[in-house]
A and B are shown apart, each in its own frame.
Chain A
Amino acid sequence: MKPLGLEGVSKRFGSRQALDALTFTVRPGEIFGFVGGNGAGKTTAMRIGVGVLAPDRGHVLWGEVPVGRLESARFGYMPEERGLYPKMTVARQLVYLGELHGLSRADAREAMLRWTERLRITQHRDKRVDTLSLGNQQRVQLAAALVHDPELLILDEPFSGLDPLAVDDMSAVLRDKAAQGVPVLFSSHQLELVEQLCDRVGIVRAGRLAACGTLEELRSADTSAQVYVEVEGAGEDWPSGCAAAAGFRTHQQGVLVDLAAGCTENDLLREAVRHGTVRQLRRQVPTLAELFRDLVEPAGDPPPTDRTGTGTPAAGKARITDRDEVAA
């Protein structure tokens, strides 16, 4: 199996720059989660990756070779907007798509049987797609992406609209595929799922990669990481006089403190003990959702330069959020 790489991919639609020199790699056997706000460019990037759209600049490489029709026929693709022929039966549809991907009729048929079984839609094989429930249509759509045994999976929002059982099925299939060495790229707004499923995560903002790496890497790169402190006997605004605190807000029973530049937890602790008994002090480990919010907020706003002015719910002190350099 070969990795998929996007290198400096740019795409412009009219006056809107959808992608701006986007670069990242999905390695063999890896599940890569693609997150970003609406209109950040995820779908465009995936469409370019699978060859449905052509980039204005940059390349898509599969291993060493640029992706062309020959290569992308080996990819499995699930578009964000689900699309199947409504009046065709599930079986015919899957066989047709298998054949389009270069399978012989017999192989396509065999694969159709295998995948409808695996995705638990055997009883719907001879039904027309428009008679199925949305969730089952989604399963058919996944089968359509898998029927030709692809060597790379690109799935745009595969989990949207799925019930918990279907989410489990879908996750299991993605894990299986990755275990076979297939690079899996998928986008999702369900960040908990991305957190559970992905080996690496790429966060896109305004057509650029705002961050990329394993969850651990993203967390350690989060320089604004806050410290949660519970001080018994202190007033709510005790950090306001601390030199080590650049900003703070109340959180649960204590406060979340942004450390000032150059200060560590020790500096904060030294000041905290003066206000009362320190019951707890721990570094706040951000969830992906929090990382995402930090990176993407203010969502959909104009370029990085004017972001300092837009306040966050935290303290009056400006937060350090310009973290584009973190990008891999």
Chain B
Amino acid sequence: MKRLPAEQRALRPTRVRLVYVRELKARMFTRGYLVSLALLSLVTFGLVIGFNLIGRSTSATVAVCGTPAASLGTAPPGVRVTSCDDMAEAQKLVEDKDADAAVVVAGAHASLLVRADTGDQARAGAAALAETWAGNQALLRQKVDLGRLARDTAAAAPTTVTVGDSVGTLQLGAAASLIIILFMQVVNQGSVIAQGVVEEKSTRVVEVLLATLTPLELLVGKVSGIVTAGMVQVAAMLGAVMGAQSTISEQTIAMPAPRALVATVLWFLLTFAMFASLYAAAGSLASRPEDLQGVLTPVMLLALAPVGAATAAAAHLSASWVSVVQYIPPFSGLLIPLKASVGTATVQEQLAAAAILLVVTACCMTLAGRIYRNSVLRVGAPIRWRQALAA
């Protein structure tokens, strides 16, 4: 194929900025976008708080009176221990459902207060607390120094040794869901990009634009505008999650460390750049929105494959296939940050994978620019990938 004059490939920042700003305004200053942004943030905020409240109400509350709550040792799992003054208050707390059960110690005798609807967890918890008290009383009667007993027991406690290099699923949880959410965003925003390109093509405005812009300028400005609008949405959602967390803020959830977060975002942007160009190229092949689905399918599969791979790999990050696949784009864009977030990717691994991804992204963008240039002015039946590349 004939080489284009240098200026055809040049990017003039002012033109790209104009395209970018227009795209951003066209996307973001619409009622639909603002409403959905507000709704999305509110719903996310509400969901996080709601789940938290539901989660909290499943823990049982047991009131203890007549003996300090601390003297009963650590609370049984799922049970929150509060203290109260006497039998009357304990009875009131349980009746008013401020507590699910109560342990009342009077003299050498302990009684359990429950309601008919007290859950098994609360009953078991209260019984365990009462048993601990009874055991302590028995030990005291036998002149045992409870403090020393506790210290000696602690000194003899077993230590836990983790063997093998597998990664706990709990540790992965937050990182994996964040990364997978970001990648689902690739698919979402990718379709928006493709639609935007088809829209310009079907309204034929592209010809007016190409009289002053190079296809690459149009492509870059447009894609970055749409990506920005999409990222604002993601940021609003993350903001809502963090905001909700901080209002509840009893314990912070296991968010990935800031460094891992930055790495994840960088990896994401790089992979996104690759897919955005492919989606734009796919969009330029169709002339009408209804033809879009057909040309998008291959790209969509390519974008979803890493999510599938990451889901499969999450349980076995140290599997041997992962150590090979992690270098292959687009899988690397998901697997490497996943490994990095749990600290099992070495710097060398990360750099090597980043270099490969960078090269592949550059190739994809060049290729997409060519497909876009060749097909953006053609109308009619969808163009085949091979035709667009060859022309």
Contact = CB atoms under 8 A, between A and B. Distances in A.
B377 A53 contact: yes
A83 B211 contact: no
A82 B204 contact: yes
A126 interface: no
Which 8 pairs show the lowest CB-CB distances between chains A and B? A83-B204, A83-B205, A81-B204, A79-B207, A77-B211, A52-B210, A100-B212, A50-B211
B163 interface: no
Contacts of B18: 96, 99-100
Nearest to B209: A100
Chain A CB within 10 Å — which of B7, B205, B212 has the most?
Answer: B212
A215 to B, nearest CB: 30
Given A69-B7, A87-B26, A144-B208, 9 more contacts: A52-B377, A54-B2, A68-B5, A77-B211, A83-B205, A83-B208, A97-B212, A100-B18, A100-B209
B212 A72 contact: yes
B4 A75 contact: no
Interface residues of A, number: 30
A81 B4 CA distance: 25
Given A56-B2, A75-B211, A100 B15 contact: yes
Nearest to B387: A14
A84 interface: yes
Contacts of B214: 69
Interface of B: 2, 4-5, 7-8, 10, 12, 15, 18-19, 22, 26, 203-214, 377, 379, 391
B208 A97 contact: yes
A131 to B, nearest CB: 14
A9 B15 CA distance: 29
16 contacts: A14-B391, A50-B211, A51-B211, A52-B377, A54-B2, A54-B4, A68-B7, A69-B214, A75-B211, A79-B211, A81-B207, A83-B206, A83-B208, A85-B26, A97-B208, A99-B18
A194 interface: no
Interface of A: 14, 47, 50-54, 56, 68-70, 72-73, 75, 77, 79, 81-88, 96-97, 99-101, 144
A52 B8 contact: no
Contacts of A69: 7-8, 10, 12, 212, 214
B370 to A, nearest CB: 13
Contacts, number: 66
Contacts of B207: 47, 52, 77, 79, 81, 83
Contacts of B2: 54, 56
Contact of A70 (B7, B211, B213): B7
A77 B210 CA distance: 10
Contact of B212 (A54, A73, A79, A86): A73
B22 A77 contact: no
A75 B8 CA distance: 17
Query: Which of B15, B205, B209 has the most C-beta atoms of chain A within 10 angstroms of its own C-beta?
Result: B205
A180 B148 CA distance: 106
User: Secondary structure at chain A's binding surface: helix, strand, loop or mixed?
Assistant: loop
Nearest to B373: A54
Given A79-B204, A85-B205, A96 B22 contact: yes
Nearest to B30: A87
Given A52-B207, A83-B205, A101 B212 contact: yes
B378 to A, nearest CB: 9
B204 to A, nearest CB: 3
Contacts of A83: 203-208
Nearest to B4: A54
**Most A Cβ at <10 Å: residue of B4, B19, B207, B210:** B207
Nearest to A73: B212
Contacts of B10: 69
Given A53-B377, A100-B18, A72 B208 contact: no
A52 B211 contact: yes
A17 to B, nearest CB: 15
A61 to B, nearest CB: 14
A287 to B, nearest CB: 32
A69 B214 CA distance: 8
B182 to A, nearest CB: 29
A128 to B, nearest CB: 12
B336 to A, nearest CB: 39
B152 to A, nearest CB: 77
A222 B203 CA distance: 42
B116 to A, nearest CB: 63
A84 B203 contact: yes
Nearest to A53: B377
Contacts of A52: 207, 210-211, 377
Contacts of B5: 68
A24 to B, nearest CB: 20
A255 B140 CA distance: 138
Most chain B CB within 10 A, of A52, A56, A97, is at: A52
Given A85-B26, A87-B26, A88-B26, A72 B211 contact: yes
